């Protein structure tokens, strides 16, 4: 499980760095040079958190069999509730609260602080929150996979349903 998630997180990190670089060049975003190491760390933590979120969705997909429905709804929720596409300040309180439990939310905040020149110290609380969210999804994914495996063995079935 650890190796698989590191490969997925590495792929996510590569995509995030590429997208940030190309987007910065096309749109003229100026990121302070001193913020780049912190920004790279932020992207790495976000990639791991998203990887574990994906593993959790995969475990749920084993149970409900329609992983495409689950993943499509999840992508829409991530775009809406994390503040990535819609400013979180404009969302109702309940939606903001759900967004706090999703990956990307805190990493986006940390990245905005770093790109705004506030320094790494200002981004640490958001970065720690993103790491906690990722760890929470890692634990949840492991628990769900263990539970579904036990149910499958108990019913003597390869199916997890």
Confidence bin at 157 (pLDDT 50/70/90):
low
Q: Is the pLDDT of residue 53 over 90?
A: yes
Q: Is the pLDDT of residue 132 over 90?
A: yes
User: From CA 38, how far away is CA 19, in angstroms rounded?
Assistant: 17
43 versus 149: the higher-pLDDT residue is 43
Q: What is the pLDDT at residue 5? A: 57
Question: Averaged over 83-92, what is the pLDDT?
Answer: 85
Q: Which of 64-68, 94-98, 131-135 has the lowest mean pLDDT?
A: 64-68
pTM of the model: 0.83
Question: Averaged over 47-74, what is the pLDDT?
Answer: 85
Q: What is the pLDDT at residue 158? A: 56
Nearest alpha-carbon partner for 11 in 37, 47, 62, 53: 47
Q: Name the token pair of 26.
A: 């096309």
| Contact indicator for 34, 114 with CB cutoff of 8 Å | no
| Contact indicator for 48, 134 with CB cutoff of 8 Å | yes
Give the angle subtended at the CA of 22 by the CAs of 18 and 24, to the nearest 5°.
115
Task: Tell me the per-residue pLDDT of 112-128, one tens digit each, with 9 for 90 and over.
Answer: 899 888 999 999 999 99
**At which residue do the structure tokens 């910065």 appear?**
24
Q: Is the pLDDT of residue 41 over 90?
A: yes
Q: Name the token pair of 104.
A: 């990307």
| Contact indicator for 75, 44 with CB cutoff of 8 Å | no
Q: Which of 77-81, 135-139, 153-157 has the lowest mean pLDDT?
A: 153-157
**At which residue do the structure tokens 């069999």 appear?**
65
Q: CA Rg, the chain, in Å?
A: 17
Q: Which of 18-22, 96-100, 122-126 has the lowest mean pLDDT?
A: 18-22
User: From CA 122, how far away is CA 145, in angstroms rounded?
Assistant: 36
């Amino acid at each position: 499980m650890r190796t698989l998630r590191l490969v997925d997180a590495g792929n996510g990190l590569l995509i995030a760095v590429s997208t940030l670089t190309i987007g910065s060049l096309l749109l003229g975003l100026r990121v302070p040079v001193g913020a780049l190491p912190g920004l790279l760390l932020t992207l790495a933590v976000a990639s791991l958190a998203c990887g574990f979120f994906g593993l959790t969705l995969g475990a749920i997909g084993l149970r409900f069999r329609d992983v495409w429905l689950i993943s499509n709804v999840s992508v829409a929720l991530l775009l809406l509730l994390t503040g990535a596409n819609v400013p979180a300040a404009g969302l109702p309180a309940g939606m903001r609260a759900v967004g706090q439990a999703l990956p990307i939310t805190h990493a986006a905040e940390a990245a905005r602080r770093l790109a705004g020149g506030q320094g790494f110290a200002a981004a640490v609380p958001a970065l720690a929150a993103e790491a906690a969210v990722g760890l929470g999804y890692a634990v949840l994914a492991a628990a769900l996979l263990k539970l579904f495996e036990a149910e499958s063995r108990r019913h003597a079935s390869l199916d997890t349903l």
